[in-house]
Amino acid sequence: RVKPFNRLQVILQHLKMSKQTDSTAEVLLEKRGGAGVITLNRPKALNALTFSMIQQIYPQIKTWEEDPETFLIIIKGTGEKAFCAGGDIKAIADAGKVGSRVTEDFFRIEYSLNNAIGTCKKPYVALIDGITMGGGVGVSVHGHFRVATEKTIFAMPETAIGLFPDVGGGYFLPRLSGKMGYFLALTGFRLKGRDVLKAGIATHFVDCEKLPALEKDLIALKSPSTENIADLLNSYHVKSKVDQEKQFVLGEHMEKINSIFSANTVEEIVKKLKQDGSPFAIKQLETLNKMSPTSLKITLRQLREGASMSLQDVFRMEYRLSQACMKGHDFYEGVRAVLIDKDQSPRWRPAALEEVSDEFVDNCFKPLGNNDLKL
């Protein structure tokens, strides 16, 4: 067996980093002007990240980071619908069912990639046009700049498939204003368009039709600093008038969200929603009732702990949680109900919040010894 800390090197060694630019490649990695450009190229699959895509992007970012001729990194998706709808969850579930090592390696290299983006020395610009969920958030939110458009749809919907908002969700979600991140994490609520900026997830908002021009201008910059890039993004941002007058979708509910989602337990959140009884509260209650009780409990603790952790410690914690979910029942059941049979009727085990013991949740957070994530 390969020693755990060598696994990543071994995985990457097997990869001949071909500069793929043919249109059939799942990901295109190109040097254009002073920019390294990553294009997620699975439009039919909403640019969902496969193991092989992550294996190619990770070493390329590391290479560009050290290259004196590369001044910034841009990531975008092809097609009209999505930047990236997440990781290839179905493939992971299939691997887990047959006890494949992919369930260990996928999360290991995915979180290593997310961390490489979060610590990248070069300015990193994500053009999050269209659906940006789960793994798509992981390859964008930790970078310096996230440019949303009127077509952006952001969500972390993992509690609906027996997972938790990973890819560093434990870091960025509790750092959003008030308890907004806790609300987004537990309910999987979708933010659209300018609301992604107002929530503090995007840094800029640009009209979708202006993205090709913006990209061209970014590529044309001559040895730019982070400030130069920010100035260029700002110049596009201030010109955008789409939905400028619209109020933030969660604005009128923030007081309620802050008071209800500051509860210490999921049971308490549910109780407070029931007591509140407003149409908004009832709707959130209905949503939470559909989610995996195990996922909800893991998620609340993940965010409460992640709020005071470093990004690297969050990834280590999330890696432990990912492996606990791979050994459990709800992830496979969630994938079946949502992605395979599509009956939207998962049978969670346990089925009720009070049946998920604190001891069980504690175990999910326990160190994995030699198998812990090394960053």
* Percent composition of the chain: helix, strand, coil (DSSP 3-state, to 5): 50, 10, 35
126 close to 219: Cβ distance less than 8 angstroms: no
Active-site residue 158, yes or no? yes
**Neighbouring-strand partners of residue 133:** 155
Of the residues 130, 135, 188, 334, only one is catalytic, namely: 135
Of the residues 166, 215, 318, 330, only one is catalytic, namely: 166
| Distance (Å, whole) CA 137 – CA 10 | 27
Nearest-Å Rg of the Cα atoms of the chain is 20
Residue 299: CB atoms within 10 A of its CB come to 27
Tally of CA atoms within 13 A in the half-sphere of 62 that contains its CB: 14
Active-site residue 166, yes or no? yes
| Distance (Å, whole) CA 136 – CA 192 | 15
Of the residues 87, 134, 188, 328, only one is catalytic, namely: 87
Active-site residue 87, yes or no? yes
CA-closest candidate to residue 155, choices 242, 215, 83 = 83
Cβ-Cβ contacts under 8 Å for 268 (sequence gap 6 or more):
none
Active-site residue 30, yes or no? no
Of the residues 88, 110, 129, 158, only one is catalytic, namely: 158
The residues annotated as belonging to the active site are 87, 135, 158, 166
